[in-house]
Amino acid sequence: MLVSRTFRLGRSKMLGFLDQLPKMEGEAASLYVPQGTPPVKIKESLENVFAPSALPSGIVDVIIDSETGAVLLWGLPGKYLILPPFPVKEAYVSDGYHIESLRSLLSRDLLIALVLVRLGAYSIGVCKGTHILDSKTGTGLVHGRHKKGGSSQARFARHRKKQIEYFMGRVCSHAQEHIGPRVQSLDYLVYGGARTTILTLQKECPFLKQFEDRVLRIMLAIPEPRRPVLDKALNDIWSTTIIEWREDAD
């Protein structure tokens, strides 16, 4: 019986992990599943490469749910499903542990913009690989919701709406200031924070609309944006999720 464990590795440790796989002795096969592959195609690919009985139940659903595609490295030495932080672009099948394409993806010093925002706080960063080149972190006054009724509540709601509009305008302006000079060379943009706040920012910031085809589908769950939060968010972006299966010793 196969039992699994899930863990995450940062960029450098993941590259080291990959480099060890080709050294393992024993038969293996590799399957790269690109981002957005239809479920039917995923099932067909798995059945063509692996005997259905050889794979644990639920693995198809994990691959289908992945936002970036998946890489299955499966053999006697080790059985791994790898969910990379960036999209797998091309389908690929080979004997042995084929790590070159995945290693190439993780070795590139991608240019990534981070936009982290919650009402009243924001942090914007432009990163090359795992290094922050430029950043801006700040706050803005946005009152909490008014719980009392009557005309005072309506006045407060209008005042709060103006505060939100002003805050969003500031965040948009800073995003344009720091990301704008790198529009052409930017590989990906990543959002983090409160979903409703991010959706409001996307709606009210025309500058950000041009990156819709470069937005990573992940949305980082973060506390109130601060510079240390930005640093951690960058590390999270570069972290790879690995599910490993082993035979149950019992």
Structure confidence by residue, pLDDT tens digits, 125-152: 999 999 999 999 998 756 565 555 555 6
What tokens were used for 174?
Answer: 């800073």
Alpha carbon distance 201, 120 (integer Å): 12
Say whether 13 sits in a helix, a strand or coil: helix
149 DSSP assignment: -
Please indicate, yes or no, whether the overall pTM of this predicted structure exceeds 0.85: yes
Q: Which of 164, 75, 86, 179 is nearest to 126 (CA)?
A: 179
Structure confidence by residue, pLDDT tens digits, 225-247: 888 899 999 999 999 999 999 87
Annotated domain spans of the chain: 2-108, 111-237
Q: Which of 180, 188, 192, 181 is nearest to 221 (CA)?
A: 192
| pLDDT for the residue numbered 145 | 58
β-bridge mates for residue 137, sequence order: 123
Residue 156 has pLDDT above 70, yes or no: no
Alpha carbon distance 122, 136 (integer Å): 8
Reply yes or no on domain 2-108 having CATH 3.30.960.10.
yes
| pLDDT for the residue numbered 142 | 64
> 97 or 219, which is more confident?
97
Residue 169 near residue 201, CB atoms below 8 Å? no
pLDDT averaged over every residue in the chain: 89
Structure confidence by residue, pLDDT tens digits, 64-92: 999 999 999 999 889 999 999 999 999 99
| pLDDT for the residue numbered 87 | 95
Structure confidence by residue, pLDDT tens digits, 174-227: 999 999 999 999 999 999 998 999 999 999 999 999 999 999 977 788 888 888
Residue 55 has pLDDT above 70, yes or no: yes
| pLDDT for the residue numbered 147 | 55
| pLDDT for the residue numbered 179 | 97
Instruction: Express the helix, strand and coil content of the chain in percent, nearest 5 each.
Output: 40, 30, 30
Q: Name which CATH class applies to 111-237.
A: alpha beta
| pLDDT for the residue numbered 120 | 85
| pLDDT for the residue numbered 151 | 54
| pLDDT for the residue numbered 141 | 58
Which one-letter amino acid corresponds to residue 54? A
The residues, any chain, with a CB within 8 Å of residue 183's CB and separated by 6 or more, are: 210
DSSP string, 179-223: HGGGTTT--EEEEEE-HHHHHHHHHH-HHHHTTGGGEEEEEE--S
Structure confidence by residue, pLDDT tens digits, 18-30: 999 988 888 999 9
| pLDDT for the residue numbered 137 | 94
| pLDDT for the residue numbered 222 | 82
Average pLDDT for residues 55-71, to the nearest whole number?
A: 92
What tokens were used for 103?
Answer: 């290693």
